């Protein structure tokens, strides 16, 4: 089976497509001066772009892992999530608390979607 890589960098690729599934990297916001909701919105916009580059879209989400620096931000993150998600097309999802590599990042999201 072929493997397609989107933005393959020295450490990770932004996305990898294999076997009918697209796997996105764990994404954080480019502008971390805003709060958790704003950071989540930026991440979800990145997900839209990367899924489009892979020939997919958010209606085809399969799985999501979300990490919050403060699990108390769960409701705030969900405001952005619920405004973005396609009703009836929600993925399997898990959200836990964790410190992230970028000190000012408040949230990181890693998703998988159907590629076709």
> Nearest Cα to 55, choosing from 92, 91, 4?
4
Closest to a second copy by CB, 31 vs 101, is 101
DSSP 26: P
Q: Considering the complex, what minimum distance in angstroms separates the CB of residue 45 from a second copy? A: 18
Binding site for a second copy (CB under 8 A): 1, 3, 5, 8-16, 18-21, 23-26, 60, 62-65, 67, 71, 74, 78, 81-82, 85, 87-101, 108, 110, 112, 114, 116
């Amino acid at each position: 089976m072929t493997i397609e890589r989107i933005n393959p960098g020295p450490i990770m690729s932004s996305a990898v497509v294999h076997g009918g599934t697209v796997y996105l990297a764990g994404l954080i916001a480019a502008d971390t001066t805003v709060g958790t909701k704003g950071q989540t919105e930026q991440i979800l916009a990145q997900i839209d772009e990367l899924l489009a580059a892979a020939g997919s879209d958010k209606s085809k989400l399969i799985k999501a892992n979300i990490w919050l620096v403060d699990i108390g931000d769960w409701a705030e993150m969900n405001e952005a999530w619920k405004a973005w998600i396609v009703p009836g097309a929600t993925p399997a999802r898990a959200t836990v608390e964790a410190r992230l590599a970028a000190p000012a990042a408040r949230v990181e999201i890693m998703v998988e979607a159907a590629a076709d």
